[in-house]
């Protein structure tokens, strides 16, 4: 018995999609690129010059159209796989595991949080140094800002980096495991597993 599936992929990922699916025993049956470009008017601005004084003739102004162009471009790939092929059960299991690992999103560095903490702390230090140099006394709200800002934002930046490192380790482990799964599946489809 043959099972089927269809995938829509960005044209840039066509080759890698073919390779990954072949690793899990899928064969390409049909491939079709879909490209559609549509433009729609989102608004119009009419500017008339002297229409109220001279009588509008249609030639006394300008019409500016605002448009939006939408492009749809993907490749529809239809695959088939024989459910009686050797190692089918294990390939199906490995495929499920592979896609669960590849769904892990690469974390982003907490750059904004760190920049806010660093810039704010530097500005506070400069303000304090200038106040000391000028011999001016600080008001209660100024002292509160100088104490609370670093107490709130510096730990937030530190915890952001700790979390980033943990998520990065989890992401790298997932990618390594997905690579191992592809190797095991490749051995099965090559008849070595």
> Is it the case that residue 25 has pLDDT exceeding 60?
yes
**pLDDT digits 0-9 by tens, 56-100:** 555 556 677 788 888 889 999 999 999 999 999 999 999 999 999
Q: How far apart are CA 170 and CA 89, in angstroms?
A: 27
For the chain, percent of residues with pLDDT exceeding 70: 91
What pLDDT, on the 0 to 100 scale, is given for residue 57? 53
Task: Report the candidate in 5, 28, 11 with the shortest Cα–Cα distance to residue 95.
Answer: 5
> Is it the case that residue 48 has pLDDT exceeding 70?
no
> Is it the case that residue 55 has pLDDT exceeding 70?
no
**Cα dist. 90→2, 23, 28 in Å?**
16, 12, 20
**Residue 14: CB partners within 8 Å, gap ≥ 6?**
31, 75, 77
Q: What is the mean pLDDT of the chain?
A: 88
Q: At 177, is the pLDDT very low, low, confident or very high (cuts 50, 70, 90)?
A: very high
**Cα dist. 37→7, 34, 71, 163 in Å?**
21, 10, 4, 42
What pLDDT, on the 0 to 100 scale, is given for residue 95? 96
């Amino acid at each position: 018995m043959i099972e089927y599936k269809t995938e829509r992929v960005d044209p840039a990922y066509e080759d890698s999609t073919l390779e990954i699916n072949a690793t899990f025993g899928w064969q390409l049956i049909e491939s079709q690129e879909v490209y559609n470009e549509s433009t729609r008017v989102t608004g119009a601005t009419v500017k008339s010059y002297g229409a109220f004084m001279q009588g509008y003739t249609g030639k006394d102004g300008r019409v500016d159209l605002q448009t939006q162009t939408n492009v749809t471009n993907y490749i529809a790939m239809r695959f088939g796989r024989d459910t009686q092929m050797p190692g089918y059960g294990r390939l199906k299991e490995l495929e499920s595991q592979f896609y669960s690992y590849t769904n892990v999103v690469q974390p982003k560095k907490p750059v904004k949080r760190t920049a806010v903490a660093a810039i704010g702390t530097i500005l506070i230090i400069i303000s304090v140094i200038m106040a000391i140099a000028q011999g001016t006394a600080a008001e209660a709200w100024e002292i509160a800002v100088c104490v609370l800002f670093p107490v709130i934002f510096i730990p937030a930046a530190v915890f952001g980096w700790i979390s980033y490192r943990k998520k990065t380790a989890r992401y790298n482990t997932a990618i390594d495991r997905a690579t191992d799964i592809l190797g095991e599946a490749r051995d099965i489809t090559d008849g070595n597993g």
